[in-house]
Amino acid sequence: GGSELANVYDDALEKGFGLVASNIAEPNILMGLMEGAARADSDLLLQLSGGAATFAGNEDPVDGLKAMGTYIETIADQYDIGVFLNMDHQSDMEFIEAQMDLGIPSSIMIDASHEPFEENVATSRAVVEMKEEKDADVLVEAELGQIKGVEDEVEAEEAFYTDPEQAVEFVDRTGCDLLAISVGTQHGVAKGKDLELRPDLAGDIRQALRDHGLDTPLVLHGSSGVQPEQLQRMLQHGICKVNKDTRYQYEYTRTAYDLYREDPTNIVPPEGVDADRDTFFNDTDWSPNKDVFDPRV
């Protein structure tokens, strides 16, 4: 539930690590991540986008959430780690309401970052109010600023960095539990070479929030491909949820494709799953501080 996940973020803020939030579209990639996280003795935060839920439910996102929720829970019971589900980049209020009523996800991201500031505040606030009215045990993530790239329901052509003072006003007015910020990362496979990462800006946003008594965990989207040193700097500046999708999808698909090309009778998925296990596990080398080694980076 959301309160348990909130404890993980408290820990992350205190010790300076980040929890990887990995997208899944179907069970294969999930299998890889689950085993990778268990090997690293790390909690695991899985994410479903609206598109992934719709796919899993054969065009019905609510059925998709139920199906994946049951699947995740059944597999997670085999492991001794905390497994959480976040609903990533949501924008459909009806679906969000169903998510809260079902009580499956531990957190929900409302993404109205493409809207003008006032609309973004109003839409994000509406989700927080819905949560409060239902007394739902779920965290609400909202986003301010725009990240370049395509994320299935939302597309941004240009990046807009998050403004620290606006971030304070946004968190204050929406009451969101987590804040996704734009500090130069991009979504997806085709990341430009023009990435201008601004960990310093994450630090300014964190500081501005703290100056106003707000201890909101920050979220980095589009984290696939961010170099370990750059990521470490982000983690030192209040980022404690690191969204990665492309990296694991890529490892899985590339491995399966290579095997098939090598030998067209090679059509069994486990090797791709193994590649994701290794990738997740190796990513844990990105821990910012070996003294408080936490593999959840």
List contacts with Zn ion (CB under 5 A): 151, 221, 243
Check 10, 43, 60, 88 and give the catalytic one.
88
**CB 88 to Zn ion: min, Å:** 6
* CA 226 – CA 186 distance, rounded (Å): 10
Assess 245 for contact with ligand G3H (CB under 6 A): yes
* CA 217 – CA 215 distance, rounded (Å): 6
**CB 4 to ligand G3H: min, Å:** 21
Three-state secondary structure string covering 94-141: HHHHHHHHHCCCCEEEECCCCCCHHHHHHHHHHHHHHHHHHCCCCEEE
* CA 46 – CA 65 distance, rounded (Å): 12
Q: Binding string to ligand G3H for residues 161 to 200, with x set by CB under 6 A, is what?
A: --------------------------xx------------
Q: Name the segment binding ligand G3H (CB under 6 A); options: 36-44, 70-78, 193-201, 238-246.
A: 238-246
* CA 148 – CA 134 distance, rounded (Å): 34
- From the list 125, 131, 198, 244, which residue makes contact with ligand G3H (rule: CB under 6 A)? 244
Spatial neighbors of 179 by CB under 8 A, at least 6 apart, are 141, 142, 143, 144, 167, 170, 171, 205, 209, 216, 217, 218, 219
**CB 20 to Zn ion: min, Å:** 13
**CB 185 to ligand G3H: min, Å:** 7
Assess 243 for contact with ligand G3H (CB under 6 A): yes
R_g of the chain computed on alpha carbons: 18
Which residue type sits at 232?
Q
Which residue type sits at 28?
N
Pull the structure tokens for residue 206.
């964190």
Closest to ligand G3H by CB, 19 vs 168, is: 19
Assess 23 for contact with ligand G3H (CB under 6 A): yes
246 makes contact, choosing from ligand G3H, Zn ion, none, with CB < 5 to 8 Å by partner type, with ligand G3H
Assess 246 for contact with ligand G3H (CB under 6 A): yes
Assess 148 for contact with ligand G3H (CB under 6 A): no
Say how many residues touch ligand G3H, by CB under 6 A.
Answer: 15
- From the list 222, 238, 272, 295, which residue makes contact with ligand G3H (rule: CB under 6 A)? 222
CB-CB contact of 181 with 145 (8 Å): yes
**CB 145 to ligand G3H: min, Å:** 13
Q: Which parts of the chain fold into alpha helices (H)?
A: 2-15, 27-39, 50-56, 61-76, 93-102, 117-134, 164-174, 199-211, 228-236, 246-262, 270-283
Coil, helix or strand at residue 77: coil
Assess 221 for contact with ligand G3H (CB under 6 A): yes
Residues in the chain: 297
Q: Does residue 88 have an active-site annotation?
A: yes
Residues with catalytic function: 88
Residues within the interface to ligand G3H (CB under 6 A): 23, 88-89, 151, 187-188, 221-224, 243-247
